[in-house]
Structures are given as C-alpha cells and as structure tokens.
Amino acid sequence: MKNKPSQNVPSILGKFGEEIYEQIMKEESPSIKIPQRGKSNVYFDDNEKVIQLGDKYSKRHFLNVAHTKKFMQTLLVASYCRRLVEENKHAGIRELYYALKHTVEGSKENTFDDQIESNPIIEDLETALDILREELNLTADRRGYIYGDIVIRDDEDEFNASKLGRGGWAVPGTVEEIDFLDLNAKYILVIETAAMCDRLIEEKFAKTNDALLVACQGQAPRGVRRLINRLHTEKKLPVYVFTDGDPYGWYIYSTIKQGSMNLAYLSRRLGVPDAKFIGMTMDDIEEYDLQKVTEKLKDMDKKRINEIMDYEWFKRKEWQDQMKKCLKLGVRIEQQALANKSLEFVAKEYLPEKIENEIFLP
Amino acid sequence: MSETKVKHADEIFKSFKMQSVSEFFKKNAAMLGYTGKLRSLTTLVHEGVTNSLDACEEARIFPDISVHISEIGQERYKIIMEDNASGIPLDYITHVFGKMLAGSKAHRNIQSRGQQGIGVSGAVMYSQVTTGKSSEVVTSTGGKAINKVNVKINVEKNAGEIVSRETLKNPGKWRGTRINLEAKNLQYNRSKYGPYSYLKMTAIANPHTRITFIEPDGTKILFDRNVRQIPKHPKEMKPHPHGTSADDILSMIKNSSATRVRTFLVSEFTRVSSKKVEEIEQISGLDLDINPKKVDWEYAEKLVNAIKQITFMAPPTEGLIPIGADSVKLGLEGILSPEFVHTVTRTPQVYHGGIAFIVEVGLAYGGNAGNNGVDIIRYANRTPLIFDQGGCCVTEAVKSIDWKRYGVKDDKAPLTIFVNIVSTHIPYTSAGKQAIATEEEIYTEIRFALMEVGRSLSRYLSGKRRAHEKLTKKKTLLRYVAETSNAIASLVNLEDSSKIAKVLTDIVEKKYDFEEATNGEEEITPVSEENGMEEVSENEE
C-alpha cells in the first residue's frame, strides 16, 4: 500500500527536476515519462478488485512541437507545487491555474489559457510521481458532507459530526490531515442525493442505526472518496452505497467501490472493493410495488447501460441481470420514489430491512 | 451660262479627299487604337515609345526614353516624348512624322514591334484632328545643329508638311528626337489600361531600356535598365511548309519567279531541301516539274496533303528574336522586385500557315507582382497588349491552368504571368491588334510553358513552406525555453536559470540545423500534367 503519509514530497519533486536538468546538461533531448491514463491503459485488477493503471507510458518531449507547451506547463506546475509544500500552503486547483497563468516571455501566448489545461497536468504529475494531489497541497472544489457520531480533528478544530446541525460537516477537498478521534457507528451509508440524506437525518436514521451518513451529491468527489476509504481501512467500517436505480447511480457505486478510469492510478487509495450496493435495484420495483413511480428510460440511458455492461467490473452475473432487467422493463427508479410509500418508509423499513438481511448487490 | 456655277471635278474631289482622310481616321479610330479617352492617350504614348525603341534598336543604342504627360485643360493634355536614338535628318522628318500608313514592314514576313503600320504619324494626326495644332519635333543627329520643326499632315497629299522651322545650336552634342504634341479627348489615370501600366510593361519586356516617366501630377517614375545587351534586329523569313494551305501556295506562286514547282518549293519555303521535294513528289505522285503558273487548286491541295505527311526541321529562329529567358527574368526582377521568378523561352514552333512562333513565359511571385490574384501581362513581339484581355488566347491559356496544383493556395496570391508571343505574323483576333486568336498550336505551347514555370513555382513554394514550417517550429520551441528553464531551476533550487536556458537553446538550434542538413536535399515530386508531353519538338535529321 502506497499510503505513506510522510512521503518527502519536496525531494520527489526535486528529483523529478534533477532528471530533466541532467538530460539538458548532457545535451540530450529532455523528456518526461508519464503513464497513460486513457481507457486503453486501464484494466480491472481481479486480485485487488479495483481498476488499475496499465504499464503504458507516453513520453513528453521538449523538442516535439506538439509537446513543448505541455512540457513547460508540467514543469511550471511541479515547481509551483514544490513551493506550496515547502511553504506549507494549500491552493485550490483553480488558484493554481491563476497563479501560473501569465504571458510567456517574449510572446503573446499565455502559459495556460484555461483551467482545462492545468487540471490534466496535475493528474499527469500525480501519476508520473505517484504522489496524491492532496500531498502536493492542492485542493479541489468541495462537495458532499458527512453526518453521524464521529469526532474529527481538522487542524485546530475538533467536533462531532452529529452535533453540527442538519447540514453535517462539509467534506474538504483534502482529508489527508484529519484525525478520527472517536467513533460510534457500525457502518457507512453513502447516499447519492443530498435530498435523500437530508430525509434520513430528519428521520434520525444515523442515531437509530449507528450509521455514518455520507452524501456524495452525484459522482463522489475525491475528498469524499478518500474519506470513505480512510474510514473503511482505518476504522474497519463496512460501506453500503445507496443510489438511484439507473446506470448513473450504479456507476457512482462502481467508482466508490473500484475506482474510476480517469483516476485509475488512485484506485487503491480511493476505492473500497468491499463496498456493497444497497439499492435502488430493479428488483425493488416489484418487491416494494413501485411500478407506478418509475421513470421511462431515454435513449441516452439505454446507451449508457450498454456501455457499462461491457465494463469488466460489471461483468458479475448479478449486475448483468440488473441491467438486462432494466433494459427489459425500460424504466429507471429514483431513491426518492420510495416516498411513494411514506416519508419514513426509507428510514424505517427499506434500509433497515436490507441491511439486516444483507440484501446487497456485490 | 446660268447663275449656278458648275463645279469642276477637281474641286469636288478636293473636298472629298480632305474629308475622306480625316473620315478615314475617325472611322478607323478603333483599329488605330484611338478609341476612348484613356486608350487614346495610351496609344499616343505607345506610338512614340515604339518609334523610339525601333530607332534605337536599329542604331544599336541603349534606349533612354522619357515621357512627360501634363494636363493643360479639360481633357486636354500635352505629351512630350524624347529618346536618344540616332536622330532624324531634316529631310526625313516629314516622312517619319507626317506620312500615314508609311510602314514598310506590314507586308513582309518579318517580326515587327509596330502593330498598326501608321506609327507616330498617327499621333500627329490625332493631335491635329482634336486640336487643329501642329506637333513640334526637335531632333539632332548629334551634329552642330538641332532642328526644331513644327509638322502637320497635309491630308490632301497624305504627307507631312513643315509649318515652321528653326535651327538651334548644339554645343552639347545632343542626339535624339523629342516630340511635343497636344491632344484633346484624353484622360489620365493609373489603371491597367493607362500609360503608366503600358510603360511598366514595356520596361519589363525591354529590359535594355531606361524609361523616365512624369505623370500629370508631377510624380516622376524611373523604370531603369536591367540588361546591358541590345536585342538583335529581326530578319525577314520564308514561310515554313507545315500548315501551309492551298490558297497560300497559289498566292505565293503569283509572286514567285520560279519556273518549276520543284524550284518554287525550295526557294520560297524554309526547310524544304531537294531531298524533301523528292519525298513530296513520291507521296503526292505529282509532276513537280510543271510551271508553277499552271498549278491549280486541286494540284495545290495534293501538294499540301503530301507536305502534311512529311516531317520538316523546325523553322529557323534567326528571324525570330525572343527577349530571352534571362532578360525576361531581369526585367521582371527589376520592375516588380518579386520574391521568386522563373522564365522560359520555348523552342520555335509553327502554327497554321507555316508561321514560326516562339512563346516566352515568365512567372513572378511575391513582391510587387500583383496583389489581387493572377495578373496577366501579354505581349506580342515584346509590345504590350493592354486591351481586349478577355478575348485573348494568352488569357485563356493562363486561366486553363489550375494554379492550386502548383502550390498557389490563395486566390489572391501575388502572381504575375508574363507571356510574349514572338512571330512574323501574330494572329490577332481583330484589326485592333490587342488580342491573339486562339490558334491551337499557340494555345498548347503557352500552356506547356506555363506548366513549366508552374512546376518551378511549386518547387519554390513547397521549399518555402517547409522552411517556414521549420522556422515556426524552431520559434515555438525557443519561445518556451525561458519559462521552462526558470521552472526547472526553481524545481532544483538553482538561483540562476541562464545556464539551463543556454544549453536548452543550443539543443533546439542543433536539432534544426541537423534537420536542415539532412532534409535540405529533399526533392518534391514535380507536379506532372499531360504526361510530360511538353517535350514536343519538330526536330529531326
């Protein structure tokens, strides 16, 4: 496991710079080796049960006109991060973009024209150097929150996440430095929508069931994923994921469980291969008599289903069956459709029943 | 006798004659080039300049010509043209400046610069018709005296007349001729139909000439001499047998003193040897020993058919004096300062009627070579053709070429195409003599020449494009050197990035120098058109 908290980031960055410096001094064509991050270079690791990066590399050459600018950008970002870490400052990835954006000496060109250019460079560095963005003291936009009986220390603040009101604690972009001081929970329930999480908070679900509620608000951001990963590995909490019953919800689950293709190099730090899927499933429709509150699948949805059915990590029979059923019924089902039964239904019956009887999808 | 006085015939014809000459001039103004205010002015200049160029060529003098146009009233201009030719002896002044249709070359098989055959006297006539004034001629052969003469055309006699005369001293030994005339119904501007364009084109095709031009607004322009060589003087030529028609043969027989067809063929045609006559005899089965006077249409036609089946040597070139590819090149370079020039003078060919011709083509790219697409400048025997561009064989040929094939990607590329047709008889489309008829042989020959210069342009442009790309690449790389070096320096905790920048710059420079050395020799596959058929030649033996 590469979860070494005290990696000497400045020296890694320094070494990275040294190599290029050496190349130049030997009058060689300077180049940077960066693992490829496209779909063609990811695979599903059956042993570790996460999406992993393959061993394909690409080289960024200063002397290749198509690479030159990116080469310069990579070094700008690397040198900026070294300063950040050494000065013990954090910067948002958008701040980094603005900090480094300027006119290239003696031209009318900008170093970066859009954050779209700087973001992938950060990922390039993470992959090439095997350092987390968080370790480079870079933070991303925050999204998602946690609610439940856990005492957390973040810098100088200590608090219990069940005593911050109904909004819980907003998870920051970086959770590397927080400590878990006290914990009274048996599992983590990850919820796709904030609306459903709010419902569960209102129904006192966390307290009644000794659960930590984490709302990821769509695709789980890195901070949230890292938090779930840490709680799972450090506190041995099982992770249950509760999303809409559609390809997008299922994919949110898949990302939490085995990582994403885009951040395949981080799967081992972000993924929770043991995570279980609680719902919504196609079987719920029949089981809870929800036929009337389904939504029709659009062409786009069908296309997406066919797409993810082909992913190796969705090849398990249970999932293939779900998706076939979904296509057959031609419908999707949202978490909040459960309100059709009653507002309390999800908290009082649906979730407890499933958890107690372990009605999960793998 | 009644009160009515009967007029004598002489009297009647006197006025009739007077009328008819000026009528003739007016009616044929278009043919003579005096139509439209701008064109008339260009024609006046053309007549004077052509006269001077011919005079200098004959006297083997490097022409130094000046043209000064000034506006002196409503559509009224004064034109002063001066040359440094041999000058005109007093007795001949009226002959040169006063006699219409005095041209001696008109009916001979010889290459000539003059087109109309009325020459500079036409200018005197035009001045006289529009202003009633005589023209002033100042000339000296370089002796002790300068003759200053006012000439008029006596329309009755169709002859020049000296109105007044003055003799001046010539201490500076000045030699040359200056004509000073006034005319009306004229207009000056810098369009491509005006004197400016005409003189510029003349300068390109006559690079041995220096032309000084003063425009009505006082602007002085110098088209300088670019070649130190006076063109050879053309010689009269016999027709070539190929393409000769039965009618041509019959009319040639009329002017021939030969007593047998056999000798007629050998003496009246070029490239017809007695050996060739035997071939004609064999193929036609005709008796070639009959008297040419007995030749009838049928006989002539058989002769023509036999001739068609025989290969003759290409017509001799002595009679045709091309400008020469080198001179055209110098002319184009000197006047247009282009970025690229390629010129070609093709080998002589024959078109219908056994008439030899040579096509010369020059291509200038960039610089002042036009700025709005292909600029076609046409010449017949190095005389600019200004008008009727649309109906000209040259224009058709240039337009038939797909310039994109030769790397001209932009419709507005700065391109000037120079085409000079050299021949004893230029096949003009009309009496206006401003457009060349589309004779297939000429058309094809122009196209071959155009393709040749086109291929050369293509090579130039692709080389330029490559060099440009390389330069752009190098510039791009160098642009990032400073930023990259600073970033590396800061990453490895170095205060000074200048060493990194220097080595990195060296690496970039080295890479592109190296590429230059290895790729420099690379040849681009030439664009081939018409399966390389451009090497058509009549040569044999």
Question: Which of A63, A85, A111, A129 to mutate: most B Cβ within 10 Å?
Answer: A63
What is chain B's mean pLDDT, rounded? 83
Who has greater pLDDT, A120 or B526?
Answer: A120
**Alpha-carbon distance A245 to A343, whole Å?**
18
- Token pair 């190098």 is found at B474
Cβ proximity of A21 and B507 under 8 Å = no
Structural domains of chain B, count: 4
**Residue B54, C-beta contacts closer than 8 angstroms, at least 6 positions apart:** B113, B114
Contact A63 B480 (CB under 8 A): no
- Which residues of A are marked as active site? 98
CB pairs under 8 A between A and B: 78
The shortest CB-CB distance from A63 to any of B493, B500, B508 is to: B508
In this structure, the answer to whether residues B454 and B335 fall within a common structural domain is yes
Q: Judge contact between B396 and B417, C-beta under 8 A.
A: no
Helical H segments across chain A, by residue range: 9-25, 65-87, 93-100, 115-129, 194-202, 205-209, 222-235, 247-258, 267-270, 282-287, 299-309, 317-329, 345, 351-356
Taking an 8 Å cut-off on Cβ atoms, the answer to whether A68 and B477 are in contact is: yes
Residues from B in contact with A at Cβ < 8 Å: 473, 476-477, 479-480, 482-484, 487-488, 490-494, 500, 503-504, 506-508, 510-511
Digit-coded pLDDT (tens) for A107-155: 888 999 988 899 889 989 988 998 888 888 888 778 899 999 999 999 8
SS3 A149: coil
For the segment B350-407, what is each residue's pLDDT rounded down to a tens digit? 887 567 899 999 999 988 887 677 899 999 998 999 888 888 999 999 999 998 889 8
3 state DSSP class of A238:
coil
Whether B205 and B354 share a structural domain: no
Q: Give the CATH number for residue B360.
A: 3.30.230.10
Conformational region of residue B388, where left means phi above 0, alpha means psi within -120 to 50, and beta covers everything else: left
Judgement on whether residues B422 and B335 belong to the same structural domain of the protein: yes
Tell me the pLDDT band of A248, cut-offs 50, 70 and 90.
Answer: very high
Q: Is residue B391 part of a domain?
A: yes
Q: Judge if B517 and B424 occupy the same domain.
A: no
CA–CA distance, B295 with B361 (Å, rounded to integer)? 42
Q: What domains lie within chain A, and their CATH numbers?
A: 9-39+56-139 (1.10.10.10), 145-356 (3.40.1360.10)
Q: What is the pLDDT of residues A268-300, one digit of tens each?
A: 888 999 999 998 999 999 999 999 999 999 999
Q: Specify the amino acid at residue A83.
A: R
**Pair B37, B120 in one domain:** yes
Both tokens of residue B369? 């070579």
Which of A22, A107, A108, A109 to probe by mutation at the B interface, max B CB count within 10 Å? A107
Overall size of chain A counted in residues: 362
Q: Is residue B315 part of a domain?
A: no
The whole domain housing B368 covers 325-458
B172 and B62 within one domain: yes
Q: Which of A71, A70, A114, A72 is nearest to A96 (CA)?
A: A114
Instruction: In whole angstroms, give the CA distance from residue B289 to residue B264.
Output: 10
On whether both B387 and B504 belong to a single domain, the answer is no
The verdict on a CB contact (< 8 Å) between A14 and B504 is no
* Same domain assignment for residues B209 and B341: no
Query: How confident is the model at residue B247, as a pLDDT?
Result: 84
Q: Is the ipTM of this complex over 0.95?
A: no
Q: Final residue of a domain: which of B409, B425, B458?
A: B458
* Nearest-angstrom CA–CA distance, B488 and B501: 10
Whether residue B203 sits in one domain with residue B111 = yes
The predicted structure's pLDDT at residue B413: 86
What is the average pLDDT value for chain A, to the nearest integer? 90
In a domain, B1, yes or no: no
B319 within some domain = no
Tell me the pLDDT tens digit for each residue of B435-462.
Answer: 999 999 999 999 999 999 999 999 998 8
Q: Are residues B101 and B211 in the same domain?
A: yes
Q: Measure the CA–CA gap between B426 and B438, rounded to whole angstroms.
A: 11
At A48, list the tokens.
């570790």
d(CA B264, CA B374) in angstroms, rounded, equals: 48
Pairwise CA distance, residues B416 & B373, whole Å:
8
Q: What is the reported pLDDT for B519?
A: 41
| A111: chain B residues, CB-CB within 8 Å | 483
Q: Which of A332, A63, A191, A14 is nearest to B477 (CA)?
A: A63
Strands, sheet with A169-170, edge to edge from the N-terminal-most edge strand: A169-170, A145-147, A211-215, A187-191, A239-242, A276-279
Q: Calculate the dihedral angle through the C-alpha atoms of B168, B170, B172, B175, rounding to the nearest 10 degrees.
A: 100
Share of chain A above pLDDT 70, in %: 98
Q: Is the pLDDT of residue B114 over 60?
A: no
Residue B470 lies in a domain: yes
Beta partners for A147? A213
- Say if B4 falls within a structural domain: no
Statement to judge: residues B383 and B516 lie in one domain: no
Q: Which of B184, B208, B223 is the last residue of a domain?
A: B223
3-state secondary structure A259-302: CCCCCHHHHHHHCCCCCEEEECCHHHHHHCCCHHHCEECCHHHH
